[in-house]
Each structure stands twice: as structure tokens, then as C-alpha cells.
Amino acid sequence: MGPGLLSILLLVLGRSLWSSEHHPPERRRGGLGFWGALAAGLLGAEARRLEATEHQEKDCGTAPLVDVLKGSRIIGGTEAQAGAWPWIVSLQVQSGSILIHICGGSLVKERWVLTAAHCIKDSRNPVIWRAVIGTNRINVSYSYSRKIKINAIIVHPDFNLESYVNDIALFQLKKAVTYNDYIQPICLPFDVFQNLNQRTKCFISGWGRTQETGNGTNTLQEAEVHFISRSMCNSEKSYGGIIPNTSFCAGDEDGVFDSCRGDSGGPLMCYLPEQRRFFVMGITSYGHGCGRKGFPGVYSGPSFYQKWLTDHLYQKSTTKSRSNKNILLGQVLIVLLSVVLLVTT
């Protein structure tokens, strides 16, 4: 068979594949229409499989074991139920043979944890860090929980430790986690942050101090809080204008419920009923003491860093997607050549 004839056949087969995607396949026992439809079916199934793999986080922000709207949570600075917040991460530092909890974090993709930049102020060396995921008790190991090494730590390049401006960072895990009832990603707040108001149901959770001068806890704590307006939080009676434009306040005006040391980096988790899922509206950043009246917690807003986050979170996915498309293209050529041989022999 000459190259010219082969090119013509490949062109005809390509049109056949395209046609099979836009029109019902002809019911033939043989010929290019039948083989083209068969090839299109096989390749279409593979394309759908790859697409599903690349968009696993579309089911983010749901806790399979607990329903917040049915009153199954214990609210008010008390212990969280197992599986209540399946995206909560304990970021720990290896010190000899023991691990020490430093900060909280949020699982946002199977290999990415969102946290605060100031958590890494003492060491950016990923070798000494570990991420403990899928547990509410950091001193107990469960079959469904995971302790994973860190591959890289990415701090926002414009983070300022003095003002806490741009207090955001990412931990890339050594290996991807497998989602289960106790390990799930939380949704990023892109395009929904504007829906946050004082009526939104929001929660904080962490292993930090339960009192300003107290110690941390081994059991995950939780509390319900609400968004506090910038006019109140940044007033002279409160923070006096020092709140960064990319941050906001949440908590309780009387200081009854608040985050504290050890909770840094953890999420402010807000439930949007129209979306029926939780979003990480904020990252626990700082506060004036803990639980002080008039000084609620300050949270860095991930929605203000959409480009920076997507550049890092989806860079690998983009490369993988291109690679998958190249593989799929190779499969197309193999199938087409096989069809040519079957039809012409």
C-alpha cells in the first residue's frame, strides 16, 4: 500500500470517527463506518475515564458521616466527632522520635494542603514536616487515617511576617491520599466568597489551646462562629485599621468562641445551602490574644489568591492532562492503523 492511499484512508477514517460522535452510527456488518464507530466508542470511553480522574475534587466540601443541618454536631468549643471535618489536617514537625503539632491545614486536593504562611516561619524544610489526615485524635492512629511526608512547601512570595499580609501557603504531599469517609477535600471559595455574610453558618476547628494561657489538645475541637464586618473589626475599638485587605474577621463579638494558638492555618469552614457543601472561606491567621471581647480571629481569604493558588494547584494537573491527551492521540493513531489493516486485507 502506498503512502498516498494510506493518507486517504486515515482521512476517511478520521471523518468516520468525527461523524460517529455527531450522528448515530450506521448499522453495517463491515466497512469503515462500523470500524470507525467501534474505534470512536473505545476512545470515547477512555476519554471519559481520564476526564473523571482529572476532576475528582468536584465532590468537595461534604462530610459523609456527619450532617451539619440535622444537629449532629456538638457546637460551642467542644470535641468534634470522628469524620466531622474530613479535610482537617494536623501539620506536625518531627523532633527525634516524636511528632509535635504545629498548625492546622485544609486538604484541598489529593496532594495539596492549604495553610497559613506564618506556620512555617521557623523552618521551611519539608523533610521535618508531616501531614496527619483523617483523624480527630492526633495521638491515636486509625486504619483510615494517614501520616504523609511533605514533598514541598510553597509560601506566598509577598508574605510579611510583621503585618501578616499574604498569610497563605501550600504543602505538597509526597503522595496522593485516597479519599474515604474520613478523608475528603474541602471546596475552594472561588466565585462564592461574596455570598459570605453574618447569617452564613461557619465553623472553626483545630487542636490548639482551649484557653489563652492553656495547652493544646489531642482531640479536635470545634465551634460555630460568624462573619464580622470590616467596619466593626477594623474600628478603633478593635484592630484599629491594621487588618489587611486580603483578610477579614470571624468569631464572636463577646469572645466566647475563637481560635487560638495551634489552630493557625486551619480553615474557617462555611456552609452554603445553595451549593450544599462547605467552603474554606478563610485560613486562621492571627488575633489579639484568644477569646478577647472585641478582638475576633483574623482570617486570610483564599479567594483573594485565586491566580496564585490555581497556578500551583493545577500546574501538575495541566501537565498530566496534556500527557493524557498525547497518550490518547497515540491510541487514536494505533486504532486507525489497525482499522486500515483490517479493512484492506
Known catalytic residue at 312: no
Cα gap 206→261, rounded to integer Å: 10
* DSSP-derived secondary structure for 94-158: EETTEEEEEEEEEEEETTEEEE-GGGGSS---GGGEEEEES-SBTTS--TT-EEEEEEEEEE-TT
Contact 281/193 with Cβ under 8 angstroms? yes
Per annotation, catalytic residue among 16, 90, 145, 167: 167
Known catalytic residue at 23: no
Cα gap 173→179, rounded to integer Å: 14
Neighbour tally for 315: CB within 10 Å: 10
Sequence-separated (6 or more) residues with CB below 8 Å from residue 345: none
Q: Which residue has the cell 506536625?
A: 92
Q: Which of 24, 44, 43 is nearest to 34 (CA)?
A: 24
Per annotation, catalytic residue among 106, 264, 285, 300: 264
Burial 231-261 (b: 16+ CB within 10 A, else e): eebbeeebbeeebbebbbbbbbeebebbbbb
Cα gap 281→220, rounded to integer Å: 20
Q: Which residue has the cell 495521638?
A: 139
Per annotation, catalytic residue among 118, 238, 300, 303: 118
Which grid cell is 134? Answer: 483523617
Contact 265/103 with Cβ under 8 angstroms? yes
Known catalytic residue at 118: yes
Cα gap 288→230, rounded to integer Å: 16
Q: Which of 211, 207, 209 is nearest to 101 (CA)?
A: 207
Contact 148/199 with Cβ under 8 angstroms? no
Active-site amino acid positions: 118, 167, 264
